[in-house]
Amino acid sequence: MFYFVIDILGTIAFAISGVLVAMNKKLDLFGVFIIAFVTSVGGGTLRDVLIGNTPVTWMQESIYMLIIALTVVFAIIFSNHLHHLRRTLFLFDTIGIGLFTLLGIEKGLTADLSPIMCVALGTITACFGGVIRDILCNEIPIIFRRKEIYATACILGGSSYFLLILLPFDGAYAYVAAIMIIIVVRLMAVKFNITLPNIYGRQKA
């Protein structure tokens, strides 16, 4: 139940991020809905396709489409006021990538993948909805450009999970701890302006 609430909050935060990008591009109602939808479920869909978990999750659980549709309607009506929610949305997004990473790792374990591939799958689940959103909006994906600690937080937290269960740590605790690590790493990176290393020498990237 607790996880379900987080899942829904993350889905809403992702959908609103999609609405904002799509409206910025002046897309029509259908375009805004599709961008919100792929931002929310695109990462999990890519994950499901790569491991052969089909029909993909959102086709089997109509709740996601319903929530995203409601979010889109709400976000369009209140689009002039969404900037007031910026901090709340950032928080939901951060909690969302934490949970989505671990959901992806779980699916990887079910598919008998190695820990490294489970972490990759978790990161795809959390981050590649935004990648597909940006591709559909004809932009280079933002997480490839800004040196932000975003996917990196998912990779660190996901790796922690496997370290923790090695210690040995109880699985359920490790699960929660890994989500917390992703959230804390992301929040700390934003607060203290920590970025990925610059790979372009002295000139400004």
CB closer to its own copies out of 6 and 142: 142
Residue 110's nearest CA partner among 43, 102, 123, 166 is: 102
Among 8, 25, 85, 109, binds its own copies (CB under 8 A): 25
Residue 67's nearest CA partner among 26, 29, 131, 10 is: 10
Work out how close the CB of 172 gets to its own copies at its nearest, in angstroms, rounded to a whole number. 25
193 interacts with its own copies by CB under 8 A: no
Give me the DSSP letters along 61-97. -THHHHHHHHHHHHHHHTGGGGGGGHHHHHHHHHHHH
Question: Are the C-beta atoms of residues 22 and 32 closer than 8 Å to each other?
Answer: yes
Q: Per the structure block, which two tokens stand in for 39?
A: 């931002």
Among 8, 50, 85, 187, binds its own copies (CB under 8 A): 50
For residues 181 and 43, give the distance between their C-alpha atoms in angstroms, rounded to a whole number: 20
Name which of residues 122 to 151 contact its own copies (CB under 8 A): 131, 135-141, 143-148, 151
190 interacts with its own copies by CB under 8 A: no
Q: Per the structure block, which two tokens stand in for 77?
A: 């009506």
Binding mask 61-100 for its own copies (x = CB under 8 A): -x--x----------x--x---------------------
* Interface ranges with its own copies (CB under 8 A): 22-23, 25-32, 34-35, 45, 49-52, 54-56, 59-60, 62, 65, 76, 79, 111, 113-114, 116-117, 120-121, 131, 135-141, 143-148, 151-152, 195-197, 199-200, 205
